[in-house]
Amino acid sequence: MMNRTLSRKLLGSMCGISSPRLSFAQSAVNTVQRQKELIKSRELEKDELRPLYMDFQATTPMDPRVLDAMLPYQVNYYGNPHSRTHAYGWESESAMEKARKQVADLIGADPREIVFTSGATESNNMSIKGVARFYKAKKNHIITTQTEHKCVLDSCRILEAEGFDITYLPVRNNGLIDLKQLEETIRPDSSLVSIMTVNNEIGVKQPIKEIGQLCRSKNVFFHTDAAQAVGKIPINVSDWKVDLMSISGHKIYGPKGVGALYVRRRPRVRIEPLQNGGGQERGLRSGTVPTPLVVGLGAACEIAQQELEYDHKRVTVLANRLVQKMMSEIPDVVMNGDPDQRYPGCINLSFAYVEGESLLMALKDVALSSGSACTSASLEPSYVLRAIGADEDLAHSSIRFGIGRFTTEEEVDYTVEKCIQQVKRLREMSPLWEMVQEGIDLKSIKWTQH
């Protein structure tokens, strides 16, 4: 199964064309108008071997310890935690409260400050819309960044339609925000600053402690989407002066469909609830709390706390191994995002003169992604890469490698080998690569339509 661009390149090289045909070279560069089909979705055949999983930012497999903790609540302890009159309810409630404590302990919070939700998307929606709408009378301004998760940006877009004023802070080339710029942007009528802790596409870690300090001094609430950071780097909401924090279950080897929101009690943060009903979860999120899922989330948080140092050490070693090998064997590889202020397990590399989708198709033995799962449906390059100022063609050649708790050295070596092999092969077929080898400066070329 070949796409048009790839077949054209093959055709070009087979016909012995030495001078590059500008029309299809242009199509490789001018990517917005491409008509190529995306990687066809297709389930594995019965005997087909499963690809290696290297996409830990999209989701993570459940830790066996988490599944073990959840099963009793799926089989026998099936009571509703809000039932007050019988043992089924009491045992379910006690499990829910135990899970609450486990989540709170991981981030240095009080259990009463944790609200269970259906995931980080719901938590983000709740905090942004909730804070904005509650303090609407006096405060009308919200600040966020251009590299936030889609749910944050979309919530802000909806608020704009309601009449709020939103500032989308730009980021520097390394993906980090400028603290000075943030300080200047905060106004007396700013109610909320929302900046994610670790970015899911490029892995950069924002200076949360400094931002928290700044927001506290200016009396603005600070929300952070910590879905990719919880359980991976040490977090303390008091140290960081964070007022709201979103947590996702399926990013920390827990079940899908559950998350949590940390809502500070001192000083109190008020939220207008999104979901109304029986008043569960302090009235902030009505609805039966799914005991098996929150037990899973709690177990995942406890395991993450125990394994944090061990995992972090391993992931750093594996990540360095991957990057060193990759960069030493092939030229023109760019790592997107700050090399130091990052979580090591999320590596976003751009391979110049190679198309991202073609490389992903060629690496069919490894489960990878280019850009985040929620934006990969469209042909547009990731908005995060665009925000950090990546060149248009480099943005299209980016692949995100995810390393997690279960990744082995063999998997990393296999991935790197295959990647190097395929990049070399694709570059051989690329007319742009040919031109670069001949010493032509691609930026000086005037591409024309035929």
Partner 1 sequence: MAASSREHVLSLYRLLLKESKKFPSYNYRTYALRRVRDAFRENRTVEDPKVVEGLLNRARDSLALIQRQVSIGKMYEVQKTVIEQEEKKSD
Interface residue list for partner 1 (CB under 8 A): 44, 46-53, 61, 64-65, 67-68, 310, 365-366, 405-408, 410-411, 414
Q: Provide, rounded to whole angstroms, the least separation between the CB of residue 61 and partner 1.
A: 7
Residue 234 and residue 142: Cα distance in Å, rounded?
Answer: 27
Return the number of other C-beta atoms located less than 10 Å from residue 413's C-beta: 14
Q: Provide, rounded to whole angstroms, the least separation between the CB of residue 203 and partner 1.
A: 21
Could you give the count of Cα atoms lying within 13 Å of 441 in the half-sphere of its Cβ? Answer: 2
Q: Is-cis flag, bond preceding 267, omega within 30?
A: yes
Nearer to partner 1, 70 or 128 (CB): 70
Q: Provide, rounded to whole angstroms, the least separation between the CB of residue 295 and partner 1.
A: 15
Q: Provide, rounded to whole angstroms, the least separation between the CB of residue 368 and partner 1.
A: 13
Nearer to partner 1, 262 or 401 (CB): 401
Q: Provide, rounded to whole angstroms, the least separation between the CB of residue 31 and partner 1.
A: 30
Nearer to partner 1, 149 or 405 (CB): 405
Helix (H, G, I), strand (E, B) or coil at 419: helix
Helix (H, G, I), strand (E, B) or coil at 350: strand
Residue 401 and residue 323: Cα distance in Å, rounded?
Answer: 10
Q: Provide, rounded to whole angstroms, the least separation between the CB of residue 47 and partner 1.
A: 7
Residue 384 and residue 58: Cα distance in Å, rounded?
Answer: 15
Catalytic residue, chosen from 15, 151, 215, 374, is 374
Nearer to partner 1, 51 or 111 (CB): 51
Q: What are phi and psi of 141, to 5 degrees?
A: -115, 135
Residue 376 and residue 308: Cα distance in Å, rounded?
Answer: 30
Tokens of 409: 């050295």
Please list, in sequence order, all residues whose beta carbon lies within 8 angstroms of the beta carbon of residue 323, skipping any fewer than 6 positions away.
335, 347, 349
Q: Provide, rounded to whole angstroms, the least separation between the CB of residue 326 and partner 1.
A: 18
Residue 346 annotated to the active site:
no
Question: Using N-to-C axis directions, what is the helix angle for 409-428 and 291-329, rounded to 10°?
Answer: 50
- Pairing outcome for strands 141-145 and 190-194: parallel
Nearer to partner 1, 74 or 286 (CB): 74
Tokens of 358: 């073609």
Question: Using N-to-C axis directions, what is the helix angle for 64-75 and 291-329, rounded to 10°?
Answer: 160
Residue 381 and residue 75: Cα distance in Å, rounded?
Answer: 45
Nearer to partner 1, 67 or 327 (CB): 67
The single residue listed with the structure tokens 């402690």 is 209
Nearer to partner 1, 53 or 240 (CB): 53
Residue 425 and residue 434: Cα distance in Å, rounded?
Answer: 12
Sign (positive/negative) of CA torsion 149, 153, 154, 159?
A: positive
Which secondary structure element, helix H or strand E, spans residue 158, and what is its range? helix 150-162
Active site residues: 374
